[in-house]
Structure 1
Amino acid sequence: MTDDAKGVPLTLPAGATPAERRGFTSLCTLLARAQFAPDTPFDHAFWFTAAGLKDLYNKPTLAAAAHTVIDLVDQGWTVQVDKYGPLLSPPDTHADRDTEKARIRRQEHLRRDAQLRQPSVRRFVSSMERSHQHDGKLVSVFNLMRDGRELAEALAEHTEATDAIQPYVQVVDSASICELTGFKLHDIWRYFRHTWSNAYSTVPGRSMPILIRDAATEHHAVIGLAAISSPVVQIAERDNWMGWDTKQFVSAIAVEPTAAVARWLARRIEAQRDEIYVDDLLRDGVLQPRDLKEPASDVVARLKADAERHRAKHHRAGVIREVRNIETDAWVERAETHLFRSKRSALLAETLEIQSLVGSYLGTTATVDGLKRALDDPKARTQIGRLVRRARGERVGTVIADLTVCGAVAPYNALAAGKLVGAMATSPTVLSAYRTKYARPSEIASAMAGRPITREARLSFIGTTSLYGTGSSQYNRLFWPATAMGGDDGQRMGFHELGRSRSFGTSHFSDVTVDALVRLSQQTGGMVRVNSLFGEGVSPRLRKVRLGLAALGWPTNELLRHGRERILYGVPLVANVRDYSLGIDSEPDYLLDPESQDQGQGVARWWLERWALKRAGQEHVREAMRGHRLVRPIRHGARVPLPSDDDGPSGFSTQAAGGSRA
């Protein structure tokens, strides 16, 4: 939040009953007067009971408002109630660094601990910690942890650090089994992910979990874990750094137009048009064959009207089942659903409009002179921007990925092994596995084309964020020689700081609140329905929350600012990051050797020399490692910290109960 952030008045919308208004004011009054303990989560049911709120299922407006305000107070917002009603004020994000870190850590721990109290999660953790027979031996997840005393001794005894720690990359899939323990690799990854300070959750789109393990131990102990996932589509700081922000790119080519860019624009128009299924559009008379080469003056309007008509049909009852029941590879059938008919008509209208305004300048043989003349025409220049934006949107999810999980577990974390995990997550082994996994037909592109369309799967850039917006991060000063990954002498790779995120999103809203907001928006009528279907668009959760807040009449932009800026980082994997990412260059100019088979050993040697051995030489680091022991009762930082059953959430000050496990 900015220094001039003001309070947000909270009133229920027209149509709320006097009883609902009194109930909401009562809840806000309780929240305004209560003293909260920093280590206790908010139990929505507790506060509903305290405020006398009943039968909320039949009061969707009150339910959505009450859930939302409880979540916001849980995240540090404060409530005041005066004669005009409740007023909500954002948390102070300009507090000192330690206070801000403590606030964020507390928020994350509350949600994580709530997850760890769930019976299904506790059963999973217990099953991993329970011994089972494998190859004639009793093993458990504790065999995948390293005793800190043993690690400290190994580092002191071995003259070669690679004898003490031997890191390697292991890519995880849902079916693979660990040969040394019999556990599913994904279960191993999931167990250690539960030791993180924030709650474990799956992400939509692509996701590839990664384990970093230590071959120097009998069962190859887990050093750390990572995950490469679909990226956030729009991040201004990242897009500007890469040089493919629309305005930035168009301005750059206006200053220095090239034949390569001119040819690429011509190819983009042709490919964009040819990858749209049109059989039903021709059959229904919306489109004539000649319109694809020489669009008629009214074809764009006809296509836009067709798109709107089928979009409305898509949002009628029963459409969700219709789309989901279609086989994945039945591309024509998927293309002809109302959802994709709407998307195809809209995209074809846009493409033919671009073709009419830009194609005449580029001609059959695109030239620099033609590009210059197109950029001098304001209308054509606008259409070039649309073409660039569409190209970026198409490729952002295929050649860019986000490092959504990255960190080390005890006792390796004392040796700055988080930096090792970060580097190994960008290694040739990971890039090769990612390409292999996702070199398959794209669901959306194939449904748009009515035939299999395979998108590029060779990554050019990996981005990530720090957990905190202040202080140090495991990505600070994280650069290594490109030769560690088979690259050329004199080049280096690593995590560049790109800027800071804009602290906007839905991470501060619980699932129960999102459900309440969705239910309210659906019952208010006249609003676009969000079905969470793959292909409907970006971030269904964000749109659901926005629609629900709008139904309450509350300011969405203010309430979607969660007040948690994070530092943005990026690892360019290729020298031609802008031109390859957009598709101007067909081949990536890698800074590493993408065919290397060393499983990250070159990076491991660099990390041992640059970070691990220096840390191991410090007594306080060795002492920290020795604190992680695999003797019963097991006290080890890599063990999932299950909260005590007695720690019931309420929101009032309570003393956390103790507890232990074997």
Structure 2
Amino acid sequence: MRTVSPFLRGTQKKEFRSLMSFEGAPQPSFAEEMRTLARRYIDDGESRKLRTVCLLVADLFEQGWRVAVEDDHILFEAPGIARQSEQSVDDVKRRIRHALQAARQRQLQEPSVQTFVRRMERRTLRAAGVRSCVLDVVDNGSDLATEFQRIASLPSDQQEAALADVVDPVVEICKAGDRCSATGLPLNDIWRYFRHTWAHEYRPIPGRQLLVLIRNAARPNRPVMGIAMLASPVMRVTARDRWIGWLRESMETRFLTGEWVPEDIAKAFLGRIDASIANLRWDDLASKSEIRSPVETTILRLEQKASGAAHSRDLQLRAHYEDNRVADGSVRPMRGNVKDAHGDADWRAASEDLLFVRKRSELLAQLLFAKQMFRAAGLAKNPRAAIEQLLAAKTGQRAIDIVLTEFRKAGLSSQVADVSICGAIHPYNELLGGKLVALILASREIHDYYAERYGSQVSIIASQMAGRAICKPADLRILTTTSLYGVGSSQYNRLLLRASDHDELGHDVHWDAIGKSLTGGFGTLHLGNETAHALGQMAQARHNSRRVNNRFGEGTSPRLRQIREGLDALGIDSDAILHHATPRLFYACELGSASRDALLGMHSEPPLLSNAASIGAAWRRRWLLQRSKRSETLAAIRKLGPQSVHATLISPGSDPSLLPT
């Protein structure tokens, strides 16, 4: 149990306790009653606190948390490890799905979302010159089942080729301005429409995003088989970082077992330090001789420079707050000199912003420290003895941690992507279309589209750190994802296509389970947008200097920082709320061979990847051929199609009528 004591006045505590007694209201309606109470209060200081507490309790209760009141305390228990031991896997999935659906249903009731769905489903004259709607790109399961029955009646040596004439997966990337050739609808809108059919609400996320449609080129209108999204990866995931080799203990294991030879490690470490220094503006921080041969006094001076810049920035933020506060207490964020990567950006001036003076000084101090330790240990001359010496001493361990962090930063910025959305659309969900989508994400097409989209993009943060325009490479080597339910994933478990079984494939294509977080992690998925907004207002009202800026380079996610500071403003330990205590399973897919070595600077050859057609052919042979013959599968897909997709987007209270015309 987690105990919190929010800052509420006596009358507010009394009113809050009366509602929390559960008397007079059935528990299923409790969360909505809390939200109704919250909306009775205006955001006028003290009332804002009760409003925010009510919204917070409503979200957590709806997500399966146990909530109780004792005196002035609220007791929370997350639906995590201890309680999952009392439940079956299906029970856990059902509970999590139900909790996520509650937030999704609220989103579907939002006027803007309902307007979007109606607009997409309304049959009207589109840019393609035909009357169409988004449901035209949903396949008819009944027709598909009839085709499969026909194929099953053919001689066995003809079935595979016949199946390829019915199911031919192709990749389509959603780009701004591009439209569907069959319907005239914007591809981004088609993707968003199907995203609303997912189990949890749709939240746009910052950073890199590649929206993917997998379509069936063999069927009328090229129906959508599945959707996916590649996004910027989370900075720190222990299971992933250990699997790749970005943690010292995993690096040491591979060194001791001989998987990584000392000479390769030494070359990679020294090259990474030099590359990181080269991508950092240092001319105003140190001399060339200090960079070439760092000493302790230089490192100490840089650390002092960073501390001074941090203090000056704190004063700057305080002054900004006082000068820009308006009557309602809101303050416009303090932006930097560069808001986007436009051609005439003055990156040198941007690097002199106090935020980046601090960041540059801190980083250069760390890099020079590591360089000093590597040189003292003789890493270039005697790699094995040097690595053993570094691993045995605290200063050497710190130097290794610094260089591994640099490898992680470089890899996450250009070579790793998170699969945040991946799955099939009716009726292909019954045909293991989710496995197809996950496998095709490892194709040559996805790798090349990603490189095309982001390979020439100027990095705002890296450019401000370097004082000049920096374009990071976009050479995808690793895909990662997390199980939504924490108890296994039928989509990713044992997802493997062996090249020895499929002539089309030049290498194995597979997803691997790489670790599990037994204690859960920290996140905001269990908090709704209304609650996040209220906590953001609490954070803003509390601060008289350091407030959360939605600015590149400030640190972790602005949403997460706002929620943390809002909880602090309420007198609530943010870890008690943000630690969801739900186990997480982590999966990864290597694009080509030696991908993990590439992320440690020990392999530079470009990956040899199979194309989507080859992966699609192997998927048909491995899964679709047999599944399309099953009577239960055919019965299931006959019920799926435009009508079933439309039904998933009907919010409570809507008229569950037939398809719109």
Fold-level similarity (TM above 0.5): yes
User: How far did 1:474 drift?
Assistant: 1.4
Q: Does 1:530 align with 2:541?
A: no
Equivalent position amino acid for 2:419 in 1? L
In 1, are the aligned partners of 2:422 and 2:438 still within 8 Å (CA)?
Answer: yes
Instruction: Quote the Cα distance in structure 2 between the aligned partners of 1:534 and 1:117.
Output: 33
The corresponding residue for 1:3 is none
In 1, are the aligned partners of 2:266 and 2:380 still within 8 Å (CA)?
Answer: no
The corresponding residue for 2:497 is 480
The corresponding residue for 1:298 is 297
Alignment of 1:73-92 (within 5 A): 73-83=61-71, 85-91=73-79, 92=83
Instruction: Quote the Cα distance in structure 2 between the aligned partners of 1:526 and 1:514.
Output: 20
Equivalent position amino acid for 1:8 in 2? R
Instruction: Quote the Cα distance in structure 2 between the aligned partners of 1:343 and 1:55.
Output: 36
Equivalent position amino acid for 1:575 in 2? S
Instruction: Quote the Cα distance in structure 1 between the aligned partners of 2:335 and 2:597.
Output: 41
What value does the CA root-mean-square deviation take over the aligned residues? 2.8
TM-superposition CA deviations, 1:62-113 (whole Å, max 9, x none): 3433332222222122232334643223333332223222211111211111
Aligned residues: 623
Alignment of 1:650-661 (within 5 A): 661=659
Worse-superposed segment, 122-131 or 299-308: 299-308
Instruction: Quote the Cα distance in structure 2 between the aligned partners of 1:319 and 1:512.
Output: 20
Instruction: Quote the Cα distance in structure 2 between the aligned partners of 1:137 and 1:522.
Output: 50
Q: Does 1:569 align with 2:587?
A: yes
Instruction: Quote the Cα distance in structure 2 between the aligned partners of 1:390 and 1:362.
Output: 21
Which of 134, 142, 145 is residue 138 of structure 2 equivalent to? Answer: 145
User: How far did 1:547 drift?
Assistant: 2.6
User: How far did 1:435 drift?
Assistant: 1.4
Q: Does 1:609 align with 2:621?
A: yes
Q: Does 1:578 align with 2:599?
A: no
The corresponding residue for 1:556 is 574
User: How far did 1:569 drift?
Assistant: 1.3
In 2, are the aligned partners of 1:125 and 1:640 still within 8 Å (CA)?
Answer: no
Question: Measured at CA, do residues 232 and 321 of structure 1 come closer, stay the same or move farther in structure 2, by a change above 3 Å?
Answer: closer
TM-superposition CA deviations, 1:425-462 (whole Å, max 9, x none): 21111011111211123222222111222333212211
Worse-superposed segment, 497-506 or 163-172: 497-506
**Unaligned residue ranges in structure 2 (runs of 5+):** 152-158, 321-331
The corresponding residue for 1:99 is 91
3-state secondary structure, aligned to 2:336 = helix
TM-superposition CA deviations, 1:10-54 (whole Å, max 9, x none): 3224xx533343344344335x8742228x9636541336xx766
The corresponding residue for 2:37 is 47
Q: Percent identity?
A: 31
User: How far did 1:622 drift?
Assistant: 1.0
The corresponding residue for 1:69 is 57
Which of 488, 505, 519 is residue 523 of structure 2 equivalent to? Answer: 505
3-state secondary structure, aligned to 1:211 = strand
Instruction: Quote the Cα distance in structure 2 between the aligned partners of 1:438 and 1:58.
Output: 46
Q: Does 1:156 align with 2:149?
A: yes
Question: Measured at CA, do residues 236 and 34 of structure 1 come closer, stay the same or move farther in structure 2, by a change above 3 Å?
Answer: farther
TM-superposition CA deviations, 1:362-386 (whole Å, max 9, x none): 4776744444444444422321222
Instruction: Quote the Cα distance in structure 2 between the aligned partners of 1:380 and 1:129.
Output: 62
Which of 3, 6, 11 is residue 9 of structure 1 equivalent to? Answer: 3
Instruction: Quote the Cα distance in structure 2 between the aligned partners of 1:371 and 1:89.
Output: 46
TM-superposition CA deviations, 1:517-569 (whole Å, max 9, x none): 33333443478532121222233322332233333333333322224323321
User: How far did 1:144 drift?
Assistant: 0.6
Equivalent position amino acid for 1:46 in 2? T
Question: Measured at CA, do residues 43 and 572 of structure 1 come closer, stay the same or move farther in structure 2, by a change above 3 Å?
Answer: farther
In 2, are the aligned partners of 1:463 and 1:570 still within 8 Å (CA)?
Answer: yes
Instruction: Quote the Cα distance in structure 2 between the aligned partners of 1:183 and 1:80.
Output: 49
Worse-superposed segment, 552-561 or 344-353: 552-561
User: How far did 1:299 drift?
Assistant: 2.8
Worse-superposed segment, 353-362 or 247-256: 247-256
User: How far did 1:58 drift?
Assistant: 4.3
Which of 486, 499, 509 is residue 469 of structure 1 equivalent to? Answer: 486
Question: Measured at CA, do residues 510 and 137 of structure 1 come closer, stay the same or move farther in structure 2, by a change above 3 Å?
Answer: closer
User: How far did 1:496 drift?
Assistant: 1.0
The corresponding residue for 1:124 is 116
Q: Does 1:208 align with 2:221?
A: no
Which of 450, 466, 487 is residue 467 of structure 2 equivalent to? Answer: 450
3-state secondary structure, aligned to 1:477 = coil
Worse-superposed segment, 60-69 or 397-406: 60-69
Alignment of 1:45-444 (within 5 A): 45-48=35-38, 57-83=45-71, 85-91=73-79, 92-94=83-85, 95-133=87-125, 135-158=128-151, 159=159, 160-253=162-255, 256=258, 258-281=262-285, 287-295=286-294, 297-314=296-313, 316=317, 317=320, 320-325=334-339, 328-329=342-343, 330=345, 331-362=347-378, 367-440=383-456, 441-444=458-461
The corresponding residue for 2:156 is none
TM-superposition CA deviations, 1:146-167 (whole Å, max 9, x none): 1111111122224410111111
In 2, are the aligned partners of 1:406 and 1:421 still within 8 Å (CA)?
Answer: yes
Instruction: Quote the Cα distance in structure 2 between the aligned partners of 1:629 and 1:210.
Output: 20
TM-superposition CA deviations, 1:108-163 (whole Å, max 9, x none): 21111111111221121112112233555322212211111111112222441011
Q: Does 1:36 align with 2:27?
A: yes
Instruction: Quote the Cα distance in structure 2 between the aligned partners of 1:243 and 1:289.
Output: 32
The corresponding residue for 2:154 is none
Question: Measured at CA, do residues 611 and 131 of structure 1 come closer, stay the same or move farther in structure 2, by a change above 3 Å?
Answer: same
In 2, are the aligned partners of 1:57 and 1:63 still within 8 Å (CA)?
Answer: no
